[in-house]
Amino acid sequence: MGLHLRILLSVVTSPTGELMTATTENTTHSHAPVAQAAQPAAQAHGQQHPIKLYLLVWGLLFFLSACSYLVDYFDFQGYLRWFLIVLFMLLKAGLIVAVFMHMAWERLALVVAILAPPMAVLVLMAMMAWEGDYTNYLRVIFFGA
Amino acid sequence: MTAEPVTTEHVTTEPTLRSSLHGMVADWSSDQRSFKGASWGKAMMWIFLVSDTFVFSCFLISYMTVRMSTTVEWPHPSEIFALEIGGKKIPLILIAIMTFDLITSSGTMAMAVNFAYARERRKAAILMLVTAFFGAAFVGMQAFEWTKLIHEGVRPWGNPFGAAQFGSSFFMITGFHGFHVSIGVIFLLIVARAVWRGDYDVGRRGFFTSRKGRYEIVEIMGLYWHFVDLVWVFIFAFFYLW
């Protein structure tokens, strides 16, 4: 998942850079006198990105949710079902974290500090899958279920 | 025009930050704060969200464990969460509507952050109220879902559809998520009120912290809200679709 996020971040960052500069120029030209009069100390930093990008991500999230719903609707089974569910889930999670939560524009020190620790959960998941499987095996043997 | 003095000030007061891996090593070894460019408020929200990630992970992993270890067949979420609309049973439709509802609220929240930084506070406040409305609608649908399941005999210790662990997993996971959404709605309303009144422009002190706020609070609030949406993505995939 970490690798996936990194790839996704790099994918979304490149088109955004261009979009962002375009809109900042626009707003500075049109609102500059008003803004200067009202708030001279207006924050130039902070996570401000074009609305268009948010609408695009919103649309993508809708589309991906519809896709994962259709997996259930058409009743796919087996490995195909698992693969599709996890694929759509990770794509959605990546979009939310990268764009809506602005992770794509944060510094790497923060990105790694936030995204790396949850990877430890995968170890717990593997251990508990092993454990659950073993419990199931014991129940089948001793309770004949 | 406004951007110019601020950017020049930026360059003079702060040394240039390097990007990529070199930048990360420099940030961490810099004998100062490591999260450069992120305020303490944002960094702390992120760290809180990491801890929350572990809480939800533990819930989902314990659900996985009980589901794998039971010898009784697991109830089919597709059928249990189906709704009858116009005499036709549509599988999982309520959950699909809840998913779209939460994504929509995430979209309006992202735009609210944008307008807050642009100092268009009326638009920001209205978008936050819309977000809160969708959040409240989500909690309402969840209450409906709980009521329906309880009427059908689902309890934390058993249910008529299959494995007994289904009820406890369901109530614990969705309950904790719904609690997060409810808290989020309350915070959204508080911040929306502050934005609407222009508290962050005039420097009015908060009723709880007695400190002056900044528009960055909207972004930090947004982080929490998107996280709630993020958790739902995983619950939707693992609990409802699996």
pLDDT digits (tens, 9 = 90+) for A59-84: 999 999 999 999 888 888 889 999 99
CA of A78 vs chain B CAs: smallest distance (Å): 10
Could you count the other beta carbons within 10 Å of the beta carbon of residue B200?
21
**Per-residue confidence (pLDDT) for residue B22, from 0 to 100:** 85
Contact B113 A47 (CB under 8 A): yes
| Type of residue numbered B18 | R
Q: Where do the domains of chain B lie?
A: 1-36, 38-241
Contact A72 B78 (CB under 8 A): yes
**Per-residue confidence (pLDDT) for residue B91, from 0 to 100:** 84
pLDDT digits (tens, 9 = 90+) for B164-200: 999 999 999 999 999 999 999 999 999 999 999 998 9
Q: Give the bridge partners for B85, in sequence order.
A: B88
Contact A132 B65 (CB under 8 A): yes
Nearest to B99 among A65, A143, A145 (CB): A65
Q: Range of A24's domain? A: 2-106
Q: What is the 3-state secondary structure (H, E, C) of B8-75?
A: HHHHHHCCCCCCHHHHHHHHHCCCCCCCCCCCHHHHHHHHHHHHHHHHHHHHHHHHHHHHHHCCCCCC
CA of B45 vs chain A CAs: smallest distance (Å): 11
Counting Cα atoms < 13 Å in the Cβ hemisphere of B23 gives 16
- CA pair distance B38, A136, nearest whole angstrom: 47
Find the distance separating the first CA and the last CA of chain A, reported in whole Å.
Answer: 36
In this prediction, what percent of chain B has a pLDDT beyond 70?
Answer: 93
Tokens read off for B215: 């528009």
Nearest to B230 among A28, A68, A96 (CB): A96
Number of domains present in the structure of chain A = 1
Contact B107 A46 (CB under 8 A): no
In this prediction, what percent of chain B has a pLDDT beyond 90?
Answer: 66
CA of A83 vs chain B CAs: smallest distance (Å): 11
Contact B3 A129 (CB under 8 A): no
**Per-residue confidence (pLDDT) for residue A44, from 0 to 100:** 42
| Whether residue B84 has pLDDT greater than 50 | yes
Contact A42 B6 (CB under 8 A): yes
A-B CB pairs within 8 A amount to 199
Instruction: Quickly state the pLDDT bin for B203 (edges 50, 70, 90).
Output: confident
Contact B114 A89 (CB under 8 A): no
Beta strands in chain B (DSSP E): 83-85, 88-90
**Per-residue confidence (pLDDT) for residue B60, from 0 to 100:** 96
3-state secondary structure of B98: helix
Instruction: Quickly state the pLDDT bin for B97 (edges 50, 70, 90).
Output: very high
Nearest to A110 among B38, B222, B242 (CB): B38
A101, A115, A140, best to mutate vs chain B, most B CBs in 10 Å: A101
Residue A145 lies in a domain: no
For residue A76, the Cα-to-chain-centroid distance in whole angstroms is 25
Average pLDDT, whole number, for chain A? 76
Residue A20 lies in a domain: yes
- CA pair distance B49, B43, nearest whole angstrom: 10
Span B154-168, mean pLDDT?
A: 92
Q: Which residues contact A13 (CB under 8 A, 6 or more apart)?
A: A104, A105
Average pLDDT, whole number, for chain B? 89
| Whether residue A99 has pLDDT greater than 70 | yes
Number of residues assigned to chain A:
145
Q: How far is CA A47 from CA A106, B73, B90, in A?
A: 9, 48, 41
Q: How far is CA A57 from CA A10, A93, A142, B26, B133, in A?
A: 15, 11, 52, 32, 21
Contact A110 B46 (CB under 8 A): yes
- CA pair distance B99, B236, nearest whole angstrom: 8
Span A46-51, mean pLDDT?
A: 81
3-state secondary structure of A16: helix
- A25-33: long-range pairs with CB below 8 Å, 24+: A27/B118, A28/B1, A28/B2, A28/B3, A32/B1, A32/B2, A33/B1
Span B80-84, mean pLDDT?
A: 85
Contact B114 A54 (CB under 8 A): yes
pLDDT digits (tens, 9 = 90+) for B100-121: 999 999 999 999 999 999 999 9
pLDDT digits (tens, 9 = 90+) for B207-230: 778 888 889 999 999 999 999 999
Residue of A97 and A45 predicted with greater confidence? A97
Span B228-237, mean pLDDT?
A: 95
**Lowest-pLDDT choice from B13-22, B73-82, B177-186:** B13-22
The domain B38-241 belongs to what CATH superfamily?
A: Cytochrome c oxidase, subunit III, four-helix bundle (1.20.120.80)
Q: Which residues contact A140 (CB under 8 A, 6 or more apart)?
A: B71
**Per-residue confidence (pLDDT) for residue A45, from 0 to 100:** 53
**Per-residue confidence (pLDDT) for residue B53, from 0 to 100:** 96
Contact B65 A136 (CB under 8 A): no
CB A110 within 8 A of CB B43: yes
**Residue ranges of A 42-101 with Cβ closer than 8 A to chain B:** 42-49, 51, 54-55, 57-58, 61-62, 65, 68-69, 71-73, 75, 81-82, 85-86, 88-89, 92-93, 96-97, 99-101
- B7-11: long-range pairs with CB below 8 Å, 24+: B7/A44, B10/A44, B10/A45
CB-based contact, A131 to chain B, within 8 Å: yes
pLDDT digits (tens, 9 = 90+) for A81-98: 999 999 999 999 999 999
**Lowest-pLDDT choice from A96-100, A138-142, B20-24, B178-182:** B20-24
pTM, whole model, 2 decimals? 0.82
**Per-residue confidence (pLDDT) for residue B166, from 0 to 100:** 94
| Type of residue numbered B186 | I
Residue A136 lies in a domain: no
